[in-house]
Amino acid sequence: MKLVVIGNGMVGQRFVEALRARDTDGRCDVTVLAEESRAAYDRVGLSAYFTGTAAEDLSLVPDGFYDGDPTLALRLGDPAVSIDRERRVVLTRSGEHPYDALVLATGSSAFVPPVPGHDLPGCFVYRTLDDLEALRTHCAGKRVGAVVGGGLLGLEAANALRLLGLRTHVVEFAPRLMPMQLDEAGGAMLRRHVEALGLTVHTGTKTERLEPGPNGAVGRMVFAGDSSAGDATDSSAEEPCADSGSFPGVEVDTVVFAAGVRPRDELARACDLRVGPRGGVVVDESCRTSDAAIYAVGECACVEGRVYGLVAPGYAMADVVARHLTGGDATPATFVSGDTSTKLKLLGVDVASFGDTTGELDVVYSDPAHGIYAKLALTDDAQTLLGGILVGDASAYATLRASVGGPLPGKLADFLGSGEIQGDLPGTAQVCSCHAVTKDDILTAVGDGCADVSALKSCTRAGTGCGSCVPLLKTLLAQAGVEQSKALCEHFAYSRQELFDLIRVRELRTFSSIVAELGTGRGCDLCKPTIASILASLGNGHILDGEQAALQDTNDHFLANLQRNGTYSVVPRIPGGEITPDKLIVIGEVARDFGLYTKITGAQRIDLLGARVEQLPQIWRRLVDAGMESGHAYGKAVRTVKSCVGTTWCRYGVQDSVGLAIELELRYRGLRSPHKIKAAVSGCARECAEARGKDVGVIATENGWNLFVGGNGGFRPRHADLFATDLDTETLVRTIDRFLMFYIRTADRLQRTSAWIEGLDGGLDYLRSVIVDDSLGLCADLDAAMSRHAATYADEWRATLEDPEKLRRFVSFVNAPGTPDPSIEFVTQRGQSVPAGAPVLVAGPTLATRAQQEVHG
């Protein structure tokens, strides 16, 4: 049988692979016609192209798949021009290709709204690798970009512009982000996350036209309701829009259209195949078109009036057609409806939706403080899960999605409390919707010898589609008693602890040498910052020196915390919360002169917020000259040691808590670690410094100090455990030295001390045996490591100010170093500058006024 496939995208390639796997006797002679010059690649992962992933790494075609088989041909850059149904021939620019069966896998094209100016230079779509290459080339030296569309693709495109260094606007016509997947509350939570990264979001906003700038390229985006044409060079033309709370227009030099897709059905229309009223080639449940010899799969197919724009339904269609064409099944394959579940990390934020997002009984959990929102749709008896929405924490997605249509796999209260569900799935539960793999299929594969996720992927294909089921694969392997790999990521087969020891012993000092000796590939956003932290913990010079600078995340890259409006915070160290009047005056003068928002933090420091990136060196020059240094609020490092006033002032104090807190903070300042570390010292049992909520807590006794370890606040607060009692100061400091250094060497990436201790085999008793009884013979090495750190500490900001090369990075625009970012705007609130658009509490009389009314009658 001669088979022609038009299209070599993700679904087209999936069909060919499924067909070859079933066509064991080689009856099908397959020709694949591809429009692009590249073989199939992962369109879902396109944004990885801007984080260093090479185009070839996105390929979906197994090595040698199209080589050496005379019955399988891939013709790149040879798109179909027309279909002659009577002769059963597909015509391309290079010739004719006869067929007995034809599969249309032409996918979709980007929808560009017909707004005036959409074809100006500087306007792009976000669909192919060629689109991304053109976008990256154009963005060199550009400053402000806008994305039309706030759905899945729009937010991916916005992240791309952000990674390319542009100040980015997201413009969505619907009243919320991701309107097809999220409800109003979920969209609002996602918006908070997105705006916290410095992006500007305009919802309920229609783009009316694009206007050219002086160079003829796009220069301004005008929103509906803006009566002024505006001068594209006038940055003051932005004015609030009364009806939407947005802006009537913004100056831009780059626009990306990501407002949706349209099925590529032009070939079908030209040969009089039936198409849907809103586009798409109409197919039946076997994915056959109105011509019995022609099938359609993926985004070009219309099933019962619906076109699916996701890869999982397309894969299901591809499998259906492969089964039809090869035969041999007792039950004919049918496509009834597709799985529209989605889970993505958009701009670093977990977002997921699955099943029906509204049910007879909706259970909602919202934690605005930590940016987490969950909604489960249930039947009215709360016995059946219909679907749900997860924003901020999607760790339970794989288990929940596999449970749709059945009982909730765990107690509802447990899920709402922890964000995790631990329960048992029925064997028929679909673990991987992309490839229709059930739990029973996975367990069968495990029983046949699959001992890791990689083997399960090869055997069942689970996890090779969108990848969202991989966490559940790991869970099922663990439940089956299979020991799991602790590999840091796909580039390193070692855990963080193993990498730390290998780097230390082999004295490796650069990422390139580490990946050459210990790993593969070019690294990723998991291993790069992890290795940067390891190198910093080992005292490998300044974090912005040479190759090490490229490994840092945004905060460490600029030695400051990025805030919601694209500005940064400045937090000088105030050891133990003690500060002289002179230094306090300098902080006040700096805040006044640079117009910074000033706030006392919960850790007894002063936070100066609202600094533009080019202002950071100027601010730190004045602070450093006054004798202050970095407080490392931006780093995974020892942050603060909080204290009460102790015996110095308090009549209840029994020890000098302030003096000890200062000594500890100065000893551990700059110590890099797997996660942030906070400490506190209380001068008596009244615990005013809240030491038992810290990673390291010290409480004074009549006989010395009690040491507590492993506490933390955050999403899952935990009290610290009592580790040792009545220690003298020297023993206390030595014990803390060993605790911190052992944690740094053995914890996983981004693992707090609380979780680390809970994960130790033997827990607190084991930890005590290692750092008190020296059961492993490590104590001398741990002592020496901490002594080296204390002796070699140097303030990162002082070193930065002394190095002109490091200072070059502190600019808003590399092509205009002295130019401030014009998109950063402030308003005055309670006498201080805050980001424009920040939420404001406005509700009648203030609480203070009410209190005065109550007091004064």
List CB contacts of 246: < 8 A, sequence separation 6 or more.
202, 203, 204, 205, 223, 240
pLDDT at 418: 45
Please say whether the beta carbons of 709 and 700 come within 8 A: no
Please say whether the beta carbons of 177 and 194 come within 8 A: yes
Half-sphere exposure of 551 (CA within 13 A, CB side): 26
pLDDT tens-digit series, residues 717-759: 789 999 999 999 999 999 999 999 999 999 998 899 998 998 8
Phi, psi of 594 (to 5 degrees): -100, 5
Question: For position 455, which CATH number holds?
Answer: 1.10.10.1100
Residue 138, in any domain of the structure = yes
pLDDT tens-digit series, residues 330-381: 556 788 776 677 776 666 678 888 888 888 888 888 877 777 888 888 888 8
Reduce the DSSP state of residue 389 to 3 states and report it: strand
Predicted confidence (pLDDT) at residue 314 exceeds the cutoff of 70: yes
Residue 738, in any domain of the structure = yes
Question: For position 783, which CATH number holds?
Answer: 3.30.413.10
Residue 594, in any domain of the structure = no
pLDDT at 89: 96
Predicted confidence (pLDDT) at residue 466 exceeds the cutoff of 90: no
Predicted confidence (pLDDT) at residue 197 exceeds the cutoff of 90: no
Please say whether the beta carbons of 630 and 797 come within 8 A: yes
Mean pLDDT of 97-101: 96
Which residue, of 423, 449, 466, is where some domain finishes? 423
650 is in an annotated binding site: yes
Per the document, the length of the chain is 857
- E strand intervals along 560-676: 561-562, 568-570, 597-600, 606-611, 638-643
450 is in an annotated binding site: no
Higher pLDDT among residues 843 and 785, named by residue? 785
Q: Mean pLDDT lowest for which of 108-112, 178-182, 265-269, 403-407?
A: 403-407
Same domain, 671 and 728: yes
The percent of residues in the chain predicted with pLDDT above 90, rounded, is 47
pLDDT tens-digit series, residues 367-390: 777 778 888 888 888 888 888 888
Q: Mean pLDDT lowest for which of 555-569, 610-624, 722-736, 749-763?
A: 555-569
Same domain, 672 and 712: yes
pLDDT at 169: 94
Question: For position 370, which CATH number holds?
Answer: 3.30.390.30
459 is in an annotated binding site: no
Mean pLDDT of 707-715: 85
pLDDT at 692: 93
pLDDT at 9: 93
Q: Burial of 451 by CB count in 10 Å (0-12 exposed, 13-18 middle, 19+ buried)? A: middle
Predicted confidence (pLDDT) at residue 69 exceeds the cutoff of 80: yes
Nearest-angstrom CA–CA distance, 802 and 807: 8
pLDDT tens-digit series, residues 231-281: 333 333 344 443 344 446 889 999 999 988 899 999 999 999 999 988 999
pLDDT at 851: 38
Residue 807, in any domain of the structure = no
Run of H or E including 721 = strand 721-727
Q: Residue 315: what residue type?
A: Y
Work out the mean pLDDT of the chain and round it to a whole number. Answer: 85
Residue listed under structure tokens 């492969």: 322
pLDDT at 420: 44
Same domain, 235 and 193: yes
For the chain, the first-to-last Cα distance in angstroms comes to 94
Same domain, 354 and 304: no
**Residue 517: which pLDDT band, with cuts at 50, 70 and 90?**
very high
Predicted confidence (pLDDT) at residue 6 exceeds the cutoff of 90: yes
Nearest-angstrom CA–CA distance, 112 and 131: 14
Predicted confidence (pLDDT) at residue 657 exceeds the cutoff of 70: yes
Nearest-angstrom CA–CA distance, 248 and 237: 9
- Report the chain's C-alpha Rg in angstroms: 30
Same domain, 89 and 144: no
pLDDT at 241: 41
Residue 104, in any domain of the structure = yes
pLDDT at 651: 87
Which residue, of 326, 357, 381, is where some domain finishes? 326
> Could you give the C-alpha distances from 764 to 382, 467, 727, 752, 769, in angstroms and in order?
40, 36, 17, 15, 9
Mean pLDDT of 388-397: 82
Same domain, 119 and 199: yes
Question: For position 166, which CATH number holds?
Answer: 3.50.50.60
Residue listed under structure tokens 């913990």: 537
139 is in an annotated binding site: no
Which residue, of 239, 259, 279, is where some domain finishes? 259
Residue 587, in any domain of the structure = no
Same domain, 391 and 471: no
Q: What is the rounded (10 degree) CA torsion for 583, 586, 592, 597? A: -40
Residue 693, in any domain of the structure = yes
Same domain, 119 and 178: yes
* Number of domains making up the chain: 7
Nearest-angstrom CA–CA distance, 603 and 643: 9
Mean pLDDT of 449-473: 77
Where in the sequence is the domain holding 501, given as residue range(s)?
A: 492-520+530-538
Cβ–Cβ contacts within 10 Å for residue 595, how many? 13
Q: Mean pLDDT lowest for which of 151-160, 292-301, 696-705?
A: 151-160
Nearest-angstrom CA–CA distance, 146 and 209: 13
Q: Mean pLDDT lowest for which of 320-324, 710-714, 733-737, 741-745?
A: 710-714
Ramachandran bin of 402, using left for φ above 0, alpha for ψ from -120 to 50, beta for the remaining angles: alpha
Same domain, 302 and 163: no
Same domain, 213 and 272: no
pLDDT tens-digit series, residues 481-496: 887 677 888 789 898 9
State which of 176-180, 322-326, 562-566, 677-681 shows the largest mean pLDDT.
677-681
Same domain, 229 and 276: no
Residue 400, in any domain of the structure = yes
pLDDT tens-digit series, residues 808-824: 888 876 555 667 777 68
Same domain, 83 and 187: no
Q: What is the pTM for the complete model shown?
A: 0.58
- E strand intervals along 459-592: 561-562, 568-570
Reduce the DSSP state of residue 289 to 3 states and report it: coil
**Residue 230: which pLDDT band, with cuts at 50, 70 and 90?**
very low
In sequence order, the β-bridge partners of residue 352 are 343, 390
